A and B are shown apart, each in its own frame.
Chain A
């Protein structure tokens, strides 16, 4: 059986230089792809349909809608389903005796990194924002699937690497993403993108008054129904044991804080918001048949005050449309409770020390 010929084809030193040059050149090309310019609006249009198509509306609300945002809700579908921005806006305006504009910028699925990106966009465009309501959830150790699509390259690359199981995949996605965005930005029509604000489409999606707590249909036509009463047996079946997740093996081995990435992002956001005199409150929305014991209260409390929903919200199966999301009766309870709970953070117009 033949094998590799015995004669050496290349002196080791030259082989090493060529190998290094090849790898370095490929790396430089990757870096150059990441550095290609693009239109950030197109970055937020990458999800034409599906769960994350909401991010386009979020970007448009932040950057193109001239209506101020005094209170921004950022989080997952649990906050998206539970907090009705138009109703909260009315209640807060009535309570405070002045117009208070609320936008619910939550997007489905958990992942603090995406919340971080949305908060950055908000801070960039809305210096008037007084308060950010950030969802507080059980530890999940997950990079949001939309994060690598919507975050700018610097944000992706500067995420903490230690115990961040997604860093490499997210970073390696950037050369392709930015290359693609570069061409999409140059030839938007070819890719079905809007280079300029598409106001009619924004209005069609609900515009400023978009209420995220309403029922809607998924791409497959299935109705996500937030109105009808659900069957308790179905909720029990879907419950699946609650929201706890076991620590990762690496964290167990090293004894490290398994949620170091999420907690770090929460703390960083708190700092950045505080520096620009915007308040931050962490708000927890209930899960069916789950108490609050899975939440890391101590760590999160160091970053910002925490609002836990009172026991009356979510105490009944009738408040839920599925184990993770409230239905109308639960939403109404949140709407009744939240304005009062937020008042201390929205009190005097003058910002202390700002």
Chain B
């Protein structure tokens, strides 16, 4: 079930909210959590009922291991063994469902053309709940959290606002909130605040992202079937798709945060105006923030620390040490982020491009850090950094959206002018072309000038760690929601448009594919 579906909005959400607050008010606490588990599974099952046992099995298995890990704190070796068993099983399951079929079929195709191919349906959300649970096992081992009961754990894993596409929240972030009964008298306030956040997210998805898709999809689909776009259509397609992805994912994150808030739960931020970043490294701290955090904490750091020690032990010098201890793990981390999206060379290319951008950025920082400390960058320079960051991001979105690498290469070919300007064949300088340009301009103006959803909701602690994020990068135009009738009217119009445009767009979010 998707947040931007009629049945979710008009049936599921109201019924579940009523049931939740009924349980919270009149029944013992465990019933409220059991209720959350049941509705989480129903939410999941509506999309893919056959993999509910896998979700439950995975959660119970990880919880049992976590109990073992917590009880073996005296024996580091046994504890490490349990962590390894858990992480290997989780990642093994993920690799099997997400990559085994593709690898097997590629090999079959290469060595035994015409042979039987494997058809493995990837369980929905497996990468999200797997990452969440790997983090749980490691955090239990590091004593950052502890098992607090299987019901609470199942409620955490199956908490439906974050189940399908994140944010990849940590057990220690959500579990204490789930454990507490929602305070009496705050239900309507939380529902109202959550609904405002949700309405903005819905608007972003159905009005902005799905509008951009009207121009991006035909270009990418046309090239996938053999077309070669000219210079302008190729750039317009790449930029418009980037905006589509921006508002699609931003909208999803807002909706997830909004729905969770309706239940009195704060989720971590997952998207924070990334196009206002001044480097690709900063962008990745503001785009899919919880995935970036996961990779940084559970992949980059465990890889970088021993490599840095290794480099120091071998006396590799300043640049050698930096290359081995920082640049290499950075590149590999980005490659993993890319490959995480699916078994397709386009995602590997996406990851490799971002890895390269990050490495270049890090080298630039490493070389100029001292000089820039003495003489800070001018506003023009900072603006140029932002432009360069978004430019690099747009380039990497080409393989991300393309059906295959040849498609991506044809679009890149168009972007460097190999196929002419495209004026003769595309809808350029026509009504369609003009609207596309308007969509791009409006999209970027919104991304640059307006406050993001959390900044609009800054008075109401819209996400976890808002104390920290609330002070970062205020928008060029600032305004903040308050409980007043003019604001309420504005939100009602936003909700109305968001709801109305559900019927035009696609029910799927782009990140549901991952």
Interface residues of A (CB under 8 A from B): 1-6, 8-10, 12, 14-16, 18-19, 21-22, 25-26, 29-30, 33, 168-169, 172-173, 175-177, 179-180, 190
Contact = CB atoms under 8 A, between A and B. Distances in A.
Contacts of B488: 18, 21-22, 25
B97 to A, nearest CB: 28
Interface in B247-286: 261, 264, 266
Given A10-B188, A176-B504, 10 more contacts: A4-B186, A9-B459, A12-B185, A14-B483, A21-B485, A25-B489, A26-B492, A29-B493, A168-B11, A172-B502
B460 interface: yes
A149 B304 CA distance: 58
Contacts of B496: 25-26, 29-30, 33, 175
Given A4-B266, A25-B489, A172 B460 contact: no
Interface in B237-253: none
B466 interface: yes
A179 B496 CA distance: 12
B492 A176 contact: no
Nearest to A171: B6
A213 to B, nearest CB: 33
A172 B266 CA distance: 30
A33 B500 contact: yes
Interface residues of B, number: 46
B501 A3 contact: no
B185 to A, nearest CB: 5
B486 to A, nearest CB: 12
B467 A2 contact: yes
A8 B500 contact: no
A176 B495 contact: no
A27 B411 CA distance: 44
A179 B7 CA distance: 21
Interface string B473-514: 000000000010100110111011001111110000000000
Nearest to A34: B500
Given A1-B176, A3-B176, A3-B177, A26 B186 contact: no
Interface stretch (B26-34, B189-197, B330-338): B189-197
A238 to B, nearest CB: 22
A10 B192 contact: yes
Contact of B266 (A2, A14, A169, A176): A2
A19 B491 CA distance: 11
A2 B465 contact: yes
Contacts of A30: 496, 499-500
Contact of A168 (B7, B266, B465, B466): B7
5 contacts: A2-B467, A15-B192, A16-B188, A25-B492, A176-B504
Interface centre among B264, B483, B500, B502 (most CB of A within 10 A): B500
A12 B172 CA distance: 30
Interface centre among A1, A169, A179, A180 (most CB of B within 10 A): A1
Contacts of B264: 4
A5 B464 CA distance: 11
Nearest to B187: A12
B259 to A, nearest CB: 15
B500 A176 contact: yes
Contacts of B48: none
Nearest to B190: A4
A16 B187 CA distance: 9
A22 B461 CA distance: 21
Contacts of A29: 492-493, 496
A22 B492 contact: yes
A19 B190 CA distance: 10
A227 B137 CA distance: 67
Interface string B96-137: 000000000000000000000000000000000000000000
Nearest to A21: B488
Given A12-B185, A12-B188, A25-B492, A1 B195 contact: no
Nearest to B264: A4
Contacts of B176: 1, 3
B503 A22 contact: no
